[in-house]
DNA sequence: GTCTATACATCGATAGAC
DNA sequence: GTCTATCGATGTATAGAC
């Protein structure tokens, strides 16, 4: 049952965990090999270099994001609904690839300095473009404010969403769906208590959970 | 005019820049020495180890936060005003210590694993406590929503604020004061356009800049 | 596919001349 | 206070036996 791919994937998985915790540059091939249970020299039967392992980790992760964002943009939804779906899609990816998410967030700036990881920079530009397109659509059609720079809003929600991997536990009392709703609600509705608005807010997708006590 | 402290501070400054860009573990003492313009051995006349330099960088940074947060908490303000002041104080610190901010954000999890940096962990707990105190006060007095977990709100605004060092340029068209107002407004009021509220929102401190075009 | 063994570079840190 | 010179450990990567 043990396919050759399993061995390769085990290496990628162990390496990702170390890269995320210690940083790529501070992780040694010996540590990766130790985690897998083999000697460092044996790694080079599967990968031609340490950087090649980094490539593999980030490649799968970025393709995952790209695919899910494309699905969101394919649907015909309002900007507010799309924003919620982008948040949810990001959290699902972060749940599936928590280590890669951390690596990407912590080391993007350094990785893009190296020509080796040029494809990471290109993917990052694509991701930003998707968010900004949704935000700008919302500003244009009047559902989002026009007195906040779209870029400031984008950076804020992006950081809040992607860095949730540092603290959010999907298995805990806050499942991913709930977190996506809460984050979207914070960023669209705000954290201020609403003084029973005379004009009810346009259909929002989140239930009121004030009575659940959690 | 060149005090002995200047040399020491130059080393700290150069090291901080490298630590922030490449990560602490991936930065070598030789690189630090190169940036300063001396040889690596000479560093050890000023510091007893590489970790001691990290200590110095983070120590000044954390003391800076601690001092500014204490000032905010000393004033008698509403939770919403205090939240705005915490955001602003954080951005001022991030502007003064951009490299230390990045190091702290990127490597906190790893640093706290090492007994050497236990004081960093203690400072981190203090910082979180300050934010949560303000948030909980606001929930208690009814100015903040009670259907969002305070911790979820805290993590979101914290990440958005501290990670702004990665992209915000204080010298640009968005000065620090303006960013603090925008971030606070996003997190308290939300990004959704308000349909001319019948009940005007309680005195908020930010001007409407929809006509400035920026 | 993993091992042994090792090449060769670079790491943090030290000792002592200047 | 910086240099020269270097130690011993550790870094990535390779070659060839099994």
Together in a domain, B79 and B14: no
Touching A: B residues 165-184, CB under 8 Å: 166-168, 174, 179, 182-183
CA dist B72 and A54 (Å) reads: 43
pLDDT, tens digit (0-9, with 9 covering 90-100), for A93-119 = 999 999 999 999 999 999 999 999 999
Together in a domain, A147 and A115: yes
**Residue A89 is assigned to a structural domain of this protein:** yes
Q: What are the phi and psi torsion angles at B192 (to 5°)?
A: -65, 140
DSSP A52-67: HHHHHHHHHHHHHHHH
Together in a domain, B42 and B73: no
Chain B: nearest CA to A191, how far in angstroms?
A: 5
Q: What are the phi and psi torsion angles at A132 (to 5°)?
A: -65, -35
| Domain of residue A30, CATH code | 1.10.10.60
Q: Is B20:B99 a contact under the CB 8 Å cutoff? A: yes
CB of B121 within 7 Å of some strand D atom: no
Domain that holds residue B116: 58-192
Residue A154, SS3 per DSSP: helix
Q: What are the phi and psi torsion angles at A39 (to 5°)?
A: -95, 155
Q: Which residue is nearest to nucleotide D5 (CA to C1')?
A: B41
Together in a domain, A101 and A70: yes
Overall domain count for chain B: 2
Q: Report the candidate in B53, B48, B45, B49 with the shortest Cα–Cα distance to residue B15.
A: B53
Buried-state track B10-37, b at ≥16 Cβ within 10 A, e below 16: bbbebbbbbbbbbbbbbbebeebbebbe
Together in a domain, A78 and A124: yes
In order along its 214 residues, chain A shows pLDDT tens digits of 556 679 999 999 999 999 999 999 999 999 999 999 999 999 999 999 999 999 999 999 999 999 999 999 999 999 999 999 999 999 999 999 999 999 999 999 999 999 999 999 999 999 999 999 999 999 999 999 999 999 999 999 999 999 999 999 999 999 999 999 999 999 999 999 987 656 656 655 555 555 444 4
Q: Report the candidate in A96, A22, A14, A1 with the shortest Cα–Cα distance to residue A47.
A: A14
Together in a domain, A105 and A13: no
Together in a domain, B132 and B188: yes
CA dist B38 and B34 (Å) reads: 6
Q: Which nucleotide is nearest to A10 (CA to C1')?
A: C1
**Residue B68 is assigned to a structural domain of this protein:** yes
Angle between helix A29-36 and helix A50-74 axes, rounded to 10 deg:
70
**Residue A63 is assigned to a structural domain of this protein:** yes
Together in a domain, A99 and A175: yes
Chain B's closest residue to A79, CA to CA, is: B192
Q: What is the mean pLDDT of each run of 10 residues along chain B (214 residues)?
A: 79 98 97 98 98 98 98 97 98 98 96 94 97 98 97 98 97 96 98 75 54 48
By the 10 Å C-beta count (0-12 exposed, 13-18 middle, 19+ buried), B104 is classed as buried
**Residue B210 is assigned to a structural domain of this protein:** no
| Domain of residue B120, CATH code | 1.10.357.10
**Residue A80 is assigned to a structural domain of this protein:** yes
Together in a domain, A36 and A86: no
Together in a domain, B90 and B127: yes
CA dist A20 and B189 (Å) reads: 34
Does residue A210 sit at the B interface (CB-CB below 8 Å)?
A: yes
Residue A98, SS3 per DSSP: helix
Together in a domain, B94 and B178: yes
**Residue A210 is assigned to a structural domain of this protein:** no
CB of A11 within 7 Å of some strand D atom: no
**A58: its two tokens:** 């980030």
Together in a domain, A42 and A63: no
- Helix boundaries (H) for chain B: 4-22, 29-36, 40-43, 50-74, 79-96, 98-111, 118-140, 150-162, 176-189
Domain boundary among A9, A27, A47: A47
**A184: its two tokens:** 């979207």
**Residue A152 neighbours by CB under 8 Å, 6+ apart:** B174, B179, B182, B183, B186
């Amino acid at each position: 049952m043990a396919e050759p791919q399993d061995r390769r994937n085990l290496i990628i998985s162990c390496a990702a965990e170390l890269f995320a915790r210690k940083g790529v540059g501070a992780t040694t091939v010996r540590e990766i090999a130790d985690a897998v249970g083999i000697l460092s020299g044996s790694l080079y039967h599967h990968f031609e270099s340490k950087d090649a392992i980094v490539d593999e980790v980030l490649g799968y992760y970025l393709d995952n994001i790209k695919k899910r964002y494309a699905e969101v943009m394919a649907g015909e939804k309002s900007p507010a609904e799309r924003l919620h779906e982008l948040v949810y899609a990001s959290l699902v990816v972060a749940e599936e690839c928590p280590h890669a998410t951390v690596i990407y967030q912590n080391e993007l700036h350094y990785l893009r300095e190296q020509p080796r990881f040029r494809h990471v920079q290109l993917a990052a530009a694509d991701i930003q473009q998707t968010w900004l397109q949704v935000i700008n659509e919302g500003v244009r059609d009047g559902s989002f404010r026009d007195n906040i720079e779209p870029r400031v809003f984008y950076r804020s929600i992006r950081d809040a969403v992607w860095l949730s991997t540092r603290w959010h536990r999907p298995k805990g009392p806050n499942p991913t769906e709930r977190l996506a709703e809460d984050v979207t609600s914070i960023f669209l509705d705000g954290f201020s208590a609403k003084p029973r608005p005379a004009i009810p807010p346009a259909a929002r997708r989140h239930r009121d959970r004030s009575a659940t006590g959690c």
